[in-house]
Structure 1
Amino acid sequence: MSNPTCALVLIGNELLSGRTEDANMNHIARRMSDIGIRFLECRVIPDDKAVIISCLKELKEKYTYVFTTGGIGPTHDDITVDCVASMFEVPIVRDAKTVEAFENHFGDRLNDGVLKMADFPKGAELVPNTHSIAPGFRMENIYCMAGVPKIMRVMLEAIIPNLQKGNQVFSKSVDVYAGESIISKDFEYVQGLFKDVELGSYPFSHEGKGATSLVMRSDNTSSLESAYNQVISFLVKLGVEYR
């Protein structure tokens, strides 16, 4: 059985304007790799209802899971709840238990903005938020989380136990002190030998000269080790420095 798949949608004009730098994608990708879910796509989209709905409709059919971050806060431009409700053609309802939690926490400071975060599409399963109370939610295979990294992380950890796991993906890497063009032909040859190993070549600078990081990833540890040995073999043959 192939591993489950997922996509991530980062929602927010602030991301597209450059005002806010995303800190969620890398963490989600790493956690998905830990549990054998293949992270295959990430999109950054604006706070636009038509765009959000279109994007989610497309991705929910392509992947096992779709995660979103952003747009579930207290302000007028937090529209993820409204978009998902419209997409599933269900009304928005106020969750009594969330309201009660807000009342206990905020007391006299409770206002309409806070109460807005107790509104969810009818039928949604709530995602606990142990950091700041306001929940995320799930509708079918779409999980909607906060955009604030600390909050997103606790929501993600609450979600993970409910996800179908796949085979863990392992990786090995080699830093080569030579440019990609020198090793590309041999590296491509190794990729042809091991179809179940994902090979990637990533250039970087070392002491002002071109260097390349070769990364191998697979859920098959035997194939991974064999591919790694093949890479080391051709590096020795080429006479390039590596570590």
Structure 2
Amino acid sequence: MNVAVVTVGDELLAGDTTNTNATWLCDELDARGVSVERVTVVPDRVADIARVVNEYRAEYDAVIVTGGLGPTHDDLTMKGVAAAFGRPVVEQEEALTWLTEHGGYTREDLATGTAHLPQGARVLHNEVGVAPGAVVDSVYVLPGVPSEMKGMFESVADEFSGVEKHVTVVEADEPESALLDRIEALQETFDVTVGSYPGEYVRVKISGPDPEVVEAAAGWLRDRVDPVEN
């Protein structure tokens, strides 16, 4: 399964807010064997949201959009997603009923626009906050507040799956450039995916669908690098 993640918000592009939602989603999806092919940040503009969602829904199995939900002036994500499908946004009675019966609100408490979703969307109820999410075909629209986004993703997590990956990390006390020949030989010898991440020492991440092959590759590399002394 191939997925694109789209995060919406001027505050992300301005650097006012760290994009922790994208990192968390990528980690969760990767653990489920899902391949994240794109992570994109777009501003709070309907045209930009619609253009990116329309492009990605044609290219990937699913698109996850976070941020910009609610009734305030800059909450434009539902309008953008609706525009990508050529649909209007309409008030969803199911969302209103859930908020009054389970959310502890009266209809008078809720600002106009709180339950406006793309026409025909499947409602995703917000167990942590107020603004509901939605699923339109293969596009999943989640809140931007991290706690709300995580809770809502858990409600649909089983809809995301792929080939299980096994991961092992080998630490090497050598410069990354010095490891290039051994990493190349590793990839030629074993059917695995390899990533190297420099820092105080180099972490070589080895992953693949077969745990025995991954462990064999890790053992091969450990025998050929300078280990990190603890």
**TM-score scaled to structure 1, two decimals?**
0.87
C-alpha contact (below 8 Å) 1:125/1:138 kept by paired residues: yes
SS at match of 2:105: helix
1:234 partner amino acid: R
Match for residue 201 of structure 1 among 196, 204, 226: 196
Question: Where do residues 85-234 of structure 1 align in structure 2 (5 Å cutoff)?
Answer: 85-103=82-100, 105-107=104-106, 110-112=109-111, 115-163=112-160, 165-194=161-190, 196-205=191-200, 211-234=201-224
Tell me, which stretches of 5 or more residues in structure 1 are unaligned? 206-210
The count of residues paired between Structure 1 and Structure 2 equals 227
2:21 partner amino acid: N
For 1:136 and 1:149, locate their aligned partners in 2 and report how far apart those are by CA, in whole Å. 13
2:150 partner amino acid: R
For 1:222 and 1:136, locate their aligned partners in 2 and report how far apart those are by CA, in whole Å. 41
Deviation at 1:72, TM superposition (A): 1.1
Deviation at 1:226, TM superposition (A): 2.1
Match of 1:241 in 2: 227
**TM-score scaled to structure 2, two decimals?**
0.92
C-alpha contact (below 8 Å) 2:131/2:143 kept by paired residues: no
1:212 partner amino acid: V
With over 3 angstroms needed to count, the CA separation of the structure-2 counterparts of 1:184 and 1:41, relative to structure 1, is same
Match for residue 77 of structure 2 among 73, 77, 80: 80
For 2:120 and 2:227, locate their aligned partners in 1 and report how far apart those are by CA, in whole Å. 59
Match of 2:47 in 1: 50
Deviation at 1:85, TM superposition (A): 1.3
Deviation at 1:241, TM superposition (A): 2.7
1:106 partner amino acid: Y
For 2:219 and 2:113, locate their aligned partners in 1 and report how far apart those are by CA, in whole Å. 56
Match of 1:208 in 2: none
- CA-based RMSD: 1.7
1:216 partner amino acid: I
2:176 partner amino acid: E
C-alpha contact (below 8 Å) 1:103/1:110 kept by paired residues: no
1:62 aligns with 2:59: yes
C-alpha contact (below 8 Å) 1:101/1:133 kept by paired residues: no
Report the more deviating stretch, 146-155 or 103-112: 103-112
Deviation at 1:173, TM superposition (A): 0.4
SS at match of 2:18: coil
1:157 partner amino acid: E
Tell me, which stretches of 5 or more residues in structure 2 are unaligned? none
Q: Deviations over 1:100-124 (max 9, x none)?
A: 3444523386143xx3120111110
C-alpha contact (below 8 Å) 1:174/1:242 kept by paired residues: no
